[in-house]
Amino acid sequence: MQQTKIPTKETLYCKELSNGLTCFILPKKGFLRTYGVLSTNYGSLDSRFQVPGAEIVDVPAGIAHFLEHKLFEEEHGNVFGRFAQWGASVNAFTSYTQTSYLFSTTENWQDCLTLLMEFVHSPYLTEENVEKEKGIIVQELQMYADHPGHRIYTLLLENMYHEHPIRLDIGGTVESVMNTTVEDLLRCYHTFYQPGNMALAIVGDVDPVESLSLIEEKYPSWDKEQVQIERLYPSEPADVRNAWVEETLQISQPRYLLGFKHEPVWQGVDLLRQQIIMSLGMRLIAGRSSTSYGELYEADLITDSFGASFNADPRYAYSVIGSETRDPEALHAKLTTIIDGLKKNQVAETDVERLKRHIYGSHLASYESFEYTANRFISHHFRGTPYHNYLDLLASVTAADVQQALIEQLNWDRSTITILRPVDIHD
Amino acid sequence: MKFTERELTKGVRLHLCETDKFKSLTCKVFIQQELKDRDATSTALLPLLLRRGSERFPSTLQIARELEDLYAAEFGADVLKIGERQILEFYLQMVEPSLLPQGEELLERGLRSFWEIFTKPQGPGNRFVDSYFEQEKSTLEQDIKGLVNDKRSYAQVRLIALMCAEEPYGIYKYGDLKDLPGLKNQDVFAHYQKLLREHPIDIFCVGQNLEGVARLLSSLIPPRQETVELAPKTQSTVAEARYFEETMDVNQAILVLGYRTNCSYHDDDYYYALLVANGILGGFAHSKLFVNVREKASLAYFVGSGLEGSKGLLTITAGISPDQEEQALAIIAEQVKALQSGDITSEELEQTKRGITGAMTTITDSPAGVIDRNLLGLVEGEYRSLDQVVEAIWKVTHDDCVRVMQKIQLDTTYVLKSDGSKEGAEDATN
């Protein structure tokens, strides 16, 4: 078992089992709760793939999320009641790149962990229960459709990308959900839910040796041959699909989102380093400590919702900057000046050093959250980025790195604007 | 996770929980007042104004830079509503100083800056900076209007406003738009000074070496002469169940039902039974509402019930397709009836008790949770320990749940849905 000291001076235990499953265990002395999460390296992006000796498979959008719903179903009812007997809660979530199943409990964590591994590996799908789920998922999509933050983000990606599946909503569309079949679901299940494509993390007051032997003993036996999955993505042009898009929704004031599309050229340690550099850069633009924030707030062009983020994976990379605003056009004009100013050698060493202290503290504080910590171990593992080097990489970043990244990445020729406006109210 | 309590000066109590469990220091300050028209809106302006600048940190930028220098310390302010009290909250969270390069020095600096920012706003001494005041009025206006952006929260707030229109509890925690134009800078400042001088203040700290924190805080807080007595909450009964409908341009319809439980925190025989009964009805994924409305009938993605323990209200919320309102209302009514007629299995009872006690135990794994679980006790004037509450929950029987459910009365039903033609809430039944 590999042991690593994390920045809070606690020890992380890690091991890859003989069936290929990677396990992370972070003991937390004195805590009453145990959190466990089992994830597969499979998300909404994986809708076209091939295994050796078989045809290329195309499945409807939203299928990873559909599967996430269905794995809770058992022949007699659902798995919620079984976790409830120990007072535990169980849930799941799907992202662009992964699907995760989790529990949180203060009692019987060993039973919860065993059940988690068991139910994720026991699909019970019938024509009838798949049909029944469609009504529930459609209501989930409708809920998001009414949610302005979600709606504008989806719209931005839809117009940034031409072909790449990141342009589609994680849950798919009402139509793709209605067209999903048992066969589609099972094919994806059998392809992506192999232990070699999965990882498990436990955080709580647990003994690492006991945890690991429990996993080895109780993880469903795996005698099938594990196959190499080739994920296929369409070739994506460098430019954006639409440079300016608007839509209306029942909201109190307009929302503005500016997106920059980047070439996804980073892998491994470079990707993590780029994430750190860009998070500093984004804070220079949208952080409360930036002069631009004060300027925009004084001009009444942004609200508390003003923020910026860099999002990257070996398969995609983009940055997003946005806010609720009374005047999207005026905000866009000012923001253009601010970004162009920063690109012209205006990144100050003192600012970057101060922001590095902030990122250092935030990183330490993030280990207080069981969920965040466990999910970070797994997502960095899937992405192939060395999370344990985070603080060393942070120390190595300079103002010049940030300056250069802003110049290279915030390229107006690859930018797109999305605006949501309130619907006109006719009395 | 026990707190020791001491009075720093009249009406200012300090509660300390010394523990090395967390890698952080967390402090929260709660200032209580009655929930009142106009005052509620004035109070809601304070968190917005205080973050604009203080004597030593005269702008948002300088405050933010101080926080970054403190290794991502978090300072915040907000307004809470518990029962018929409005609470002004200030909080501080910083990484446990021993994990940071300059340790103890940072702790003292953090506490001093925190206290300064929330008690010494920038301005001439009798008012906030005029331009800040005017701008934050419009920020609050946008915040209140912005409630509509989250349809589920909007629907829940509308239900309470309609149901409790004649009671203080009907007031939204951030106040009312109609009060905003009339608010004067000097009056809001005076209101704020009065809160600091005369209203009950409770400071909770969780972390290590808290004696040092206590010494520093007591040196920062000036002595006070008096504390105001806050009025008890009002009671109300249901005359006739009411139904309201509001239309908007939305994809999903949201149903909210409000019940009066006729039971609250101090009703020893009923309060914990109500907690368990609410859990069986709609607190969990094994609950009746989730199983019947979602899993069996496929009508909703989210459906559940919640309890407000001070005022004693139970609400049920569901997001549904607009053409299935009748069906959803019928299934919801059946679930309430099932509980009232004793249709509760021993499994449901057991699972729910475990779920509630598990969730309560879990919150003591977070410093904010350790503090926040005392809020209801603070407002109700009676703290209860986790052990005490867990024991009370395990004592609840099947018959207790039935009895307490038989006391609840449906007061108001509210539906938000698309229809296209009308605006605003209208009473559709009476």
Closest CA in chain B for residue A357: B71
The confidence score (pLDDT) of residue B236 equals 85
Yes or no: say if B414 and B427 are a contact pair by the CB < 8 Å rule: no
> How far off is chain B from A53, nearest CA to CA, in Å?
39
Task: Please tell me if residue A299 touches chain B, with a CB cutoff of 8 Å.
Answer: no
Show residues of chain B in contact with A298, CB under 8 Å.
135
List the single best residue of B22, B280, B362 to mutate versus A (max A Cβ within 10 A).
B362
User: To the nearest whole percent, how much of chain B has pLDDT over 70?
Assistant: 97
Q: Do A146 and B361 lie within an 8 Å CB cutoff?
A: no
Place of tokens 């930028």: B61
For domain A2-231, give its CATH number from 3.60.21.10, 3.90.550.10, 3.30.830.10, 3.10.450.50. Answer: 3.30.830.10
Closest partner residue to A300 (CB to CB) among B73, B135, B352 is B135
A252 to B145: CB separation less than 8 angstroms, yes or no: yes
For chain A, helix (H) and strand (E) counts, in that order, are: 15, 15
What is the average pLDDT value for chain B, to the nearest integer?
Answer: 93
DSSP string across A222-247: --SPP-PPEE------SS-S-SEEEE
Per the annotation, the verdict on A68 as an active-site residue is yes
Q: Which residues of A touch B59 (CB under 8 A)?
A: 294
Q: Report the pLDDT value the prediction gives residue B420, as an integer from 0 to 100.
A: 55
Below-70 pLDDT ranges, chain A: 425-427
Confidence of residue B176 (pLDDT cuts 50, 70, 90): very high
Rounded to an integer, the average pLDDT of B7-16 is 96
What is residue B251's predicted lDDT score, i.e. its pLDDT? 92
Q: Can you tell me the distance from the alpha carbon of A352 to that of A284, in angstroms, rounded to the nearest whole number?
A: 8
Q: Rounded to an integer, what distance in angstroms lies between the CA atom of residue B207 and that of residue B193?
A: 29
Judged against a pLDDT cut of 60, whether residue B430 lies above it is answered with no
Decide whether A2-231 matches A244-422 in CATH topology: yes
Its ipTM equals 0.90
State the DSSP code for B73: -
Residues of B in contact with A362 (CB under 8 A): 72
Residue burial A222-248, b: 16+ Cβ < 10 Å; e: rest: beeeebebeeebeebeeebbeeebeee
Q: Do A354 and B251 touch (CB under 8 A)?
A: no
Length, in residues, of chain B: 430
Domain formed by A244-422, architecture: 2-Layer Sandwich (3.30)
Geometric angle at alpha carbon A290, from A286 and A296, rounded to 5°:
65
Residues of A within 8 A of B294 (CB-CB) are: 136
Contacts of B352 in chain A (CB under 8 A): 84
Q: Which of A31, A139, A252 sits opposite B252 (nearest CB)?
A: A139
B421: pLDDT strictly greater than 70: no
> B84-137 pLDDT, tens per residue?
999 999 999 999 888 887 777 889 999 999 999 999 999 998 999 999 999 999
- The active-site residue, picked from A10, A16, A68, A329, is A68
- pLDDT tens per residue, range A4-21: 999 999 999 999 999 999
Q: What is the pLDDT of residue B104?
A: 78
Give this prediction's pTM.
0.93
CA separation for the pair A417, A322 (Å, rounded): 9
**CB-based contact B286 A425, cutoff 8 Å:** no
Residue B295 makes CB contacts below 8 A (sequence gap 6+) with: A78
Three-state secondary structure call for residue A280: helix
**CB-CB: which of A135, A143, A423 is closest to B252?**
A143
Domains of chain B, start order: 4-220 (3.30.830.10), 242-427 (3.30.830.10)
Q: What percent of chain B has pLDDT over 90?
A: 89
The nearest CA of chain B is from the CA of A56 a distance in Å of 33
Say whether A368 and B72 touch across the interface (CB within 8 A).
no
Q: Which of A108, A124, A143, A360 to mutate to test the interface with B (most CBs of B within 10 A)?
A: A143
CA–CA distance, B332 with B315 (Å, rounded to integer):
12
Q: Where are the domains of chain A?
A: 2-231, 244-422
What is the arithmetic mean of pLDDT over B30-46?
Answer: 96
In our burial notation (b when 16+ CB lie closer than 10 A, e otherwise), range A403-425 reads bebbeebbeeebbbbbbbebeee
In the predicted structure, residue B187 carries a pLDDT above the cut 60? yes
